[in-house]
Amino acid sequence: MAELLPFAEQPEATFLDLGAGTGAASHAILERYPHTTAILADFSPEMMGAGETELRPFAGRYRYVEFDLLTGPWPTDIPPAVDAVVTSLAVHHLPDERKRSLFGEIFERVRPGGWYLNYDPVRATDPVVTAVQTRVLDEEDPETAHKRHHRTAEEQARFENHVRFISPLDLQLDYLRSAGFHGVEVWWKRLDYVIIGGYHPSAT
């Protein structure tokens, strides 16, 4: 995602990292573009506390705000316009209707010419594709494959709760286009993980 953002062409830029957790995405962007500042939004005090430690090298260039993506509303200390919004391993926790509305809210916060990028898993709709993905992942990590086949009932319930809102790729691309984004594309993909996004068209 850091490589895809056009910040090298800008003298300064502010981006918003929604569902930021400990700030892994922000860390990569701040490191690549020394002239950027970040606003990280999360609702977990534990995550934000860990992020403060992880992002210590970028002191003065970032701040955390509390924001629950599921319930909203947007906090007043998130500015009305930013140069880009990123989400990483966060949106798949939201029901489809909330994904759709969130993409629209993000569009309203991105300045014309700015980008939104999302790194997340997607659900295959073809069982053949799912089988191939599972086979490759099992070959790469036999230990995880073994655990998957020997989950307790509690572990299986936790897993199903974790993946229940993962949506098909095409559906999310449609949500982005409906929100108003242009240049909507799958910018990177490996098995069931993708980077998708688009830009806010400049005013005419």
Distance CA 124, CA 165 (A): 13
Angle (nearest 5°) at CA 83 between 79 and 86: 90
Residue 97 domain flag = yes
Contact between residue 67 and residue 44 where contact means Cβ atoms under 8 Å apart: no
Same domain, residue pair 83 and 119: yes
Asked if 120 and 128 touch (Cβ cutoff 8 Å), the reply is: no
Q: What digits encode the pLDDT tens for the residues 85-112?
A: 999 999 999 999 999 999 999 999 999 9
Q: What is the pLDDT of residues 128-158, one digit of tens each?
A: 999 999 999 999 999 988 888 888 888 787 7
**Same domain? 65 vs 153:** no
Tokens found for residue 183: 């240049």
Alpha-carbon distance of 186 to 9, in angstroms, equals 22
Place of tokens 């559906």: 171
Once rounded to an integer, what is the mean pLDDT over residues 111-125?
Answer: 97
- DSSP letters, 72-92, are -PPPTTS-S-EEEEEEES-GG
**Are both 189 and 134 inside the same structural domain?**
no
What CATH number should be reported for the domain holding residue 82? Answer: 3.40.50.150
pLDDT of residue 204: 46
Mean pLDDT of 42-60: 97
Residue 167's alpha-carbon distances to 48, 62, 152, 173, 194, in angstroms, are 27, 31, 25, 10, 12
182-190 and 36-42 beta bridge pairing: unpaired
The verdict on 149 and 107 lying in the same domain is no
Q: What is the pTM of this model?
A: 0.93
- Domain-embedded: residue 1: no
| 89 and 36 within one domain | yes
pLDDT at 186 over 60: yes
User: How close are the terminal C-alpha atoms of the chain, in Å?
Assistant: 27
Within a domain: 204: no
What residue numbers bound the domain in which 137 lies?
124-165
Same domain, 154 and 187: no
Distances (CA, A) of 159 to 19, 153, 163, 188, 191: 20, 10, 6, 25, 19
Average pLDDT over residues 178-187: 98
Q: 35 and 11 share a domain?
A: yes
Q: Give the total number of structural domains in the chain.
A: 2
| Residue 159 located in a structural domain | yes
Are 68 and 147 found together in one domain? Answer: no
In this structure, are 159 and 183 located in the same domain?
A: no
Question: Is 24 inside any structural domain?
Answer: yes
